[in-house]
Amino acid sequence: MRHLTVTEIGRSLNLSNELLQVREKGSVLAEYPLNRLRSIQVAGRGVAMSSNLLVDLSARGIPLFIIDFKGRPLVQLSGTHQHAVAALRRSQILYLEKPAAEHVARAIVRGKIKNQRAVLLYFSKGIRKSNANLWPVLEKAAEQMANLARSLSGESKVKPSDDWRQRYMGFEGRAAAIYWQALRDSELLPATFKGRMGRGATDVTNQCLNLGYSVLTSHVWHAVTLAGLEPYLGILHVDRPGKPSLILDLMEEYRPWVVDRNVIKLRQQLANSEKLDASIRKAIIGSIHGTFLARMAYHGKRLRLSAILQRQVYRLCGVFHADKTYKPYLFKW
């Protein structure tokens, strides 16, 4: 099973005997059996697709995402055979009005902070050997983030209030400031990286991060669609028109390991580039897809991360429908 991303302008996607063909100027560049595909992302302009292919993708439940030039997912095409269950979505809506929703939001933020810390410790092993002067930067930041995670756990004893979203986003913001500054000061990110920036980013590192997050978005959106949840009703992120709040919630615990870590691995290539060229796009997209295909520990088993993500979403369904406890997936460094 694999995820396919097309980034080059002027290519076309066609169907031939249950094979997806990627063509350019009439020549077949590659073929992929449809039964091996889990999703398709189109990240290039002018990519043509046949209606026969779209119908077959719909019948097989393979979603197709169209990503704009800034790396934002704009369109998801999926079939009418959705797995949505009215009772589950009703439970999701009702759960968001319960005080227990605060516990899920806290778990999400705590999971993100701990996974950010895991990324710092993952790279500190190599830096400790190659550059002992920079190693303390990561160690100090990791300790600060561990303290934040412990403080966040202590929030469970605080009297419930109406401002819990703001409080937890405050924790997330403090952790992010420590995390990105440590990555910059330890030279794990190029000198052109001055700080985290989303839309409108002009430096190649932020552009690469934004592209990576858009690819991650498609993976999470696919898992949420399969589970039958409403992607626009979130817990931590507030509801706004056109904002997939639940997708943004579930992305948080995967951002550091799946995207940030893979972007950091490209730091030499990013340092020598002024723009997000085709080679960098291919490298980051390929590494993220590869991470989702990698097997990782999960409740005594070793599963592909894509399967772990799906199970985590199903666990969230259990939270909504049966008031179970949600625990974020923590990566081992």
Q: Which of 276, 261, 267, 271 is nearest to 204 (CA)?
A: 276
Higher pLDDT, 59 or 116: 116
Measure the CA–CA gap between 297 and 308, rounded to whole angstroms. Answer: 9
Q: What is the structure's pLDDT at 6?
A: 84
pLDDT at 67 > cutoff 80? no
pLDDT in tens, 118-135: 999 999 988 877 787 888
pLDDT at 249 > cutoff 60? yes
pLDDT in tens, 185-236: 999 999 899 999 887 888 999 999 999 998 999 899 989 988 989 999 999 9
Q: What is the structure's pLDDT at 188?
A: 94
Check if the beta carbon of residue 242 is closer than 8 Å to that of residue 230.
no
What contacts 128, CB < 8 A, 6 or more positions away? 135
Task: Please give the CATH architecture assigned to the domain spanning 2-77.
Answer: Ribosomal Protein L15; Chain: K; domain 2 (3.100)
pLDDT in tens, 279-332: 998 899 999 999 999 999 999 999 999 999 999 999 999 999 888 899 999 999
Distances (CA, A) of 23 to 60, 209, 296, 316: 22, 28, 35, 40
Measure the CA–CA gap between 266 and 125, rounded to whole angstroms. Answer: 17
**Where in the chain do CATH 3.100.10.20 domains reside?**
2-77
Measure the CA–CA gap between 259 and 285, rounded to whole angstroms. Answer: 9
Check if the beta carbon of residue 291 is closer than 8 Å to that of residue 219.
no
Q: What is the structure's pLDDT at 240?
A: 73
pLDDT at 83 > cutoff 60? no
Higher pLDDT, 229 or 161: 229
149-188 as b/e: b if 16+ CB within 10 A = beebeebeeeeeeeebeebbeebbeebbebbbebbbebeb
Tokens of 221: 């959106």
Most confident of 13-17, 22-26, 257-261, 329-333: 257-261
Higher pLDDT, 8 or 70: 8
Q: What is the structure's pLDDT at 84?
A: 58
pLDDT at 87 > cutoff 70? yes
Q: What is the structure's pLDDT at 50?
A: 85
**Where in the chain do CATH 1.20.120.920 domains reside?**
86-322
Q: What is the structure's pLDDT at 161?
A: 67
Q: Please spell the DSSP secondary structure of 191-240, one letter per residue.
A: TT--S---TT--SHHHHHHHHHHHHHHHHHHHHHHHHT--TT--SSSPP-
Give Rg (Cα) of the chain. Answer: 20
Residue 246: pLDDT band with limits 50, 70, 90? very high
pLDDT at 44 > cutoff 80? no
Task: Please give the CATH architecture assigned to the domain spanning 86-322.
Answer: Up-down Bundle (1.20)
